[in-house]
Structure 1
Amino acid sequence: MEFGEITARLSPPILPKEIDDLSWDAVEGELGVELPAGYKEFVATYGTGSIGKFLWIFNPASKNRSLNGEAIRYFQSSYTELKQDFPADYTRPTFPALNSFLPWAVTDNGDTLVWILCDKPPNSWKVGVMASDQVAEEIYESDFVEFIVQLLDQEIDSKILPRQFLDMKKTFQSF
């Protein structure tokens, strides 16, 4: 699925915010992994903001620590600590191991949208939704672009994401 499927459904802002200082090479170097092209194109096209005033896409160049690389590191370190304290409940490996997760968005409810790392190229990583307690998770057979299109088309079925958000027509709000 092409990125244009997203822009056909979700109007991008005329002037996306906080993209001027974005260096994907630096971000990927710090993380130690290449990121999916669709995600990078999304951030470059939309900048910092939310879908439906509920789903906040991380922008590594954002000045908002809740939405930039610090947020990504926070979710990873929190999971690592929880896994150390409660290994029976937190069975997923820690980043950057195969089958670990890498956060790319957060909801107002504290749920986290992640990629599940595998031995395939980043554009084929599956999307997961982790509940705010990081125990319950849902894995979708979709990459980033497919998941966003399905979300915009109201085709995502979830026990974690609220039905009100899933069923609403969504717009992008710059922050």
Structure 2
Amino acid sequence: MDALRQLMPAHPGAGDAVDWVALERSWGTGFPGDYREFITRYGAGAVDDCLCFLLPESRAAQDVEPAFQGMETETLNALDLWQHKAPTGSERSGVIAWGVDSSADILCWRVTDGDPDGWPVVVWNQDDAVWREYPCGLAEFLCRVFRAQFGECPLGSTGLWGNASPRFMHGDEEARLRGRGLDPWTGEPDPFAGMFGD
């Protein structure tokens, strides 16, 4: 996380307060320490309008639809893909989604045992329709993407690959700027502002 903070400083007002005890009870598992720290420092938002980070919500009751585009919905999408396309030998483990990108890739942890800090990152690459596993946690994975330290870019979009100065923006800040009629990522007037309601 120290390296990630240096590469991608959080802006003032970023970060989300989360009741981890309640969420872990709802999900039936803990969450990795670097992810918990990421949510506290950065929160739910995006990097360079390319990679969105998911905030955990209490899981919906069995007869209730999960929130659209939340961690639970993306995890259900990932589990469906995992069931049919999991790498050989890893079918018995599950996945929990923590991010999605502009190429419709889903970024997850492979739930290997009871220690969340040991879960590797797995990415569903939509372009290639395959899962790829990376033996590191979220913070190290992001640093290695920003520094182009994998054999190839793990994501369908190369916008973050080798990006020496990635920019994180919390979802609330993005909404505030859009409300002022600005494109949050360029600061320029948004030509579509107001066209689709509030």
User: Deviation of residue 77 (structure 1)?
Assistant: 2.9
Amino acid at match of 1:15: G
Query: C-alpha deviations, 1:77-108, integer Å up to 9, x for none?
Result: 3355567xxx6x4346xxxx952111000112
Identify which of 115, 122, 128 aligns with 2:116: 122
- Structure 2 segments unaligned to the other structure (5+ residues): 58-66, 172-198
Question: What is the aligned length?
Answer: 158
Larger Rg: 2
What is the aligned partner in structure 1 of residue 174 from structure 2?
A: none
What is the aligned partner in structure 2 of residue 90 from structure 1?
A: 85
> Is this contact kept in 2: 1:126–1:140, CA < 8 A?
yes
Paired with 2:92 and 2:112, the residues of 1 have a C-alpha distance of 5
**Higher mean displacement: 104-113 or 126-135:** 126-135
Paired with 2:43 and 2:80, the residues of 1 have a C-alpha distance of 31
Identify which of 98, 101, 108 aligns with 1:104: 98
Aligned counterparts, 1:1-175, within 5 A: 3-16=1-14, 19-20=16-17, 22-60=18-56, 65=67, 71-79=70-78, 89-91=84-86, 99-119=93-113, 121-132=115-126, 135-156=129-150, 157-158=152-153, 160-169=155-164, 170-175=166-171
Amino acid at match of 1:153: R
Residues 150 and 25 from structure 1, CA distance in 2 versus in 1: closer, same or farther, beyond 3 angstroms?
A: same
Give me the TM-score of the superposition, normalised by structure 2: 0.68
**More RCO (CA 8 Å, sep 6+):** 1
Paired with 1:124 and 1:166, the residues of 2 have a C-alpha distance of 24
**SS of residue in 1 equivalent to 2:22:** helix
Let me know the Cα RMSD of the aligned residues: 2.7
Give me the TM-score of the superposition, normalised by structure 1: 0.76
- Structure 1 segments unaligned to the other structure (5+ residues): none
> Is this contact kept in 2: 1:138–1:158, CA < 8 A?
no
